[in-house]
Structures are given as C-alpha cells and as structure tokens.
Amino acid sequence: MNKLKSVSWGNGAIQLLNTIKNHHLLDNTPTIIMLRHSEREEPEKLEEVFEAPLTERGRKTAFEFGKNLPKKFKYRFFHSPVGRCKNTALEIRKGVSNPEQEDLCPIDSLESLYLVKCDFEIFKERLEQAQLKFMDYWIGQFFSPEEIEPTLNVAKRMAKDITKIIKTQQKNSIDVFVSHDFHVILSQFYWSGILATKDWIQYLDGFIIQFLDEKMIFYSKMGQFDVNYPYWWIK
C-alpha cells in the first residue's frame, strides 16, 4: 500500500483494509463498505465542487485500495451520480479484478448517495457562513427544513435503499457504496451514534457494517462494536 502510505489522508483507508483482512467477518452475512470518494481537485468556486474530478493520485490510490481488497469476496459497487464517485468505484473495481472479471463486479449509480433536497444558494450561504461548524449546525437542526433537508431524512433515504440492495446480496459478498464526506458522516452518525465532525472522514475513509437480524456489527477506526437498529429502520 505504498501510495496510500505516502498521502497524509491515507490512514483511514489503510485501517479499513486492515479491518477487512484481519477481522473475522461473519460468513454468509450481508456486508457493506460505506466509503468516501478518492482525492479530488480543489475548485476555485464552491459551486464547481460537484464537477471536481479525481486527481491522478486519487485514481491511483483508489486502484491500490481495490488491489488490497481480499479476493475471496465477490463485490458489487454503487456510487453517487457525481463523476468522481463513479470513477473511484471504477478504479477500485479495476484493482480488485482483472479485465476478464470486471463484468462479475456489477456497478450502478445510486441517487441517495448524493441527494440533499435544498435551495442550493441557501445551502452554499450557510456553508460559507458556518465553515467547519456547518455539519454540527445542520445535524443540530439550526437550519430551516424548508431551506435544507434535515440530516435524518438523508440518512433514512440511504438506509432504505441499502436495505433493499443487501437483500439481493449473494453469499460471500461485499457491497461497496462510494459517496461523499457529508453522506458518510451522516450515515455513520444516524446508524451507529458516532459523530465524526471533529475527526473528519478523509478520502477513501468510511466504515463497514454487517447486518444481523437484531443488530448491526459496526467496524470503523473507532473499533468494532454491536449496534441496535434505530427505531425507524425498516428491515
């Protein structure tokens, strides 16, 4: 993992890979990886961030991430419609498979990994005003729901889609979801109770979940622990 070790943000990705390799994940249990996209270019204007592509280093580290995923699992990939998320998923898929096997690793776009219903101009204004406190204010319901969709709605939408998807997961498989820092932070908080606004989700960082009947097993840089399903979760 030379490339991931050489970047300042690579520790989260390395920890995720080590978790998959070194922890004894339960067999025949629906399993997902929720992941932030790889390194992107920095736009001059905030409104250009949606089109910001991966850097060359971002492509190479995503490929390396895929090469280090255990080959004993089958993989499916789901990504935000934003280009850098799709390209992150494609590079990981290239790394985990050879050209003859790529078709065996399905890939598809999933809107809930990106969607936040809002007035974008107001969203941008609140983000510029709050800076690093934006997520705390958003989660704390400091913003009107008519202007920016409540964070719980975002997390519920992702949970609903992922619950449907894992019902079609084959044995000995892992589904990889490539999204954005906001969405990874919100899903981690509302699904596990861990808020990562101080220890921000870096590129190729995220968490792993295994879904049991009565609980989830959650794996992240915080360690491994069992979590009861939120009261609103529909299985």
CATH number of the domain to which 59 belongs: 3.40.50.1240
What per-residue confidence (pLDDT) applies to 187? 97
Does 233 fall in a domain? no
Q: Tell me how many domains the chain contains.
A: 1
Query: How many C-beta neighbours within 10 Å does residue 198 have?
Result: 8
Is the pLDDT at 164 greater than 60, yes or no? yes
The pTM for the full model equals 0.94
State what percent of residues in the chain have pLDDT above 90: 77
Does 235 fall in a domain? no
Does 56 fall in a domain? yes
Does 30 fall in a domain? yes
The answer to whether 176 and 106 have CB atoms below 8 angstroms apart is no
Instruction: Report the DSSP beta bridge partners of residue 148.
Output: 118
Does 196 fall in a domain? yes
What per-residue confidence (pLDDT) applies to 228? 96
Does 115 fall in a domain? yes
Mean pLDDT of 166-175: 94
Per the structure, the complete domain to which residue 135 belongs is given by 2-228
What per-residue confidence (pLDDT) applies to 105? 87
Mean pLDDT of 76-87: 96
Neighbour order of strands in the sheet with 107-109: 107-109, 74-79, 173-179, 31-36, 206-211, 215-220, 223-228
What per-residue confidence (pLDDT) applies to 102? 56
Does 66 fall in a domain? yes
Does 17 fall in a domain? yes
- The label of the residue with tokens 């910001």 reads 52
State whether the Cα torsion 231-196-21-102 is positive or negative: positive
Strands 74-79 and 173-179 come out as parallel
The pLDDT-based confidence of 45 (bands split at 50, 70, 90) is low
Q: List the single range of 109-113, 126-130, 211-215 with lowest mean pLDDT.
A: 126-130
- The label of the residue with tokens 């025949």 reads 28
Summary mean pLDDT of the chain: 92
